């Protein structure tokens, strides 16, 4: 069973969670990942060569860096036209709605925030949260993640 991702926050502090949407299952992403795997194998082979030829290692190192960059570009998702909402709950009860800000929409980056006036009301415990995307009228939610709210000794 996979471990649920979690993020810690102190009650009464500013809450900011930076997230990025990626698509690792598109045909382009799969092809790019395959290229990274091959480039890594070629690099590993160049490193183990006896005697080592610096030109071969440099070429393999450059090819690996290029393949990784191509993969990073292949998994980018443009969220410009998406509607995004996020909230957290505890025991099935809504606790808080986050402010969602697209920080770099063309590369899938956005941020969830809550101000101290809101987070002060959060009791120390573990909450469930997710992000809901509305794309072309269809709703899709992220995997659930946990927010672990800790007591802020200084703010009390």
Question: What is the separation of C-alpha 58 from the centre of its chain, rounded to a whole number of angstroms?
Answer: 31
CATH number, position 124:
2.60.40.10
Does the pLDDT at position 50 exceed 70?
Answer: no
Q: Rounded to two decimals, what is the model's pTM? A: 0.82
Question: Is 38 within a domain?
Answer: yes
Average pLDDT (6-15) is 94
Give the count of domains, the chain: 2
pLDDT the model gives residue 154: 79
Question: Is 125 within a domain?
Answer: yes
Which residue range forms the structural domain that includes residue 129?
Answer: 6-21+78-150
* Secondary structure class of 71 (helix, strand, coil): helix
**Which pair of structure tokens corresponds to residue 122?**
């959060």
Residues 105, 46 share a domain: no
Residues 139, 89 share a domain: yes
Q: Which residues pair with 113 in a beta bridge?
A: 16, 99
Residues 102, 141 share a domain: yes
Considering only residues 2 and 124, tell me which one the structure prediction assigns the higher pLDDT: 124
pLDDT in tens, 103-151: 999 999 999 999 999 999 999 999 999 999 999 999 999 999 999 999 9
């Amino acid at each position: 069973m996979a471990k649920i991702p979690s993020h810690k926050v102190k009650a009464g502090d500013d809450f900011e969670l930076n997230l990025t949407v990626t698509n690792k299952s598109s045909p382009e992403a799969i092809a790019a990942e395959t290229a990274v795997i091959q480039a890594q194998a070629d690099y590993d082979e160049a490193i183990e060569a006896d005697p080592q030829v610096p030109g071969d290692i440099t070429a393999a190192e450059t090819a690996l860096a290029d393949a990784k960059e191509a993969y990073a570009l292949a998994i980018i998702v443009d969220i410009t036209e998406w509607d995004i909402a996020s909230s957290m709950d505890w025991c099935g009860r809504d606790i808080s709605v986050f402010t969602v800000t697209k920080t770099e929409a063309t590369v899938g980056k956005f941020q969830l925030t809550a101000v101290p006036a809101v987070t002060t009301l959060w009791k120390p415990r573990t909450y469930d949260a997710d992000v809901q995307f509305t794309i072309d009228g269809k709703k899709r939610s992220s995997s659930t993640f946990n927010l672990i709210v800790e007591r802020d000794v200084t703010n009390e």
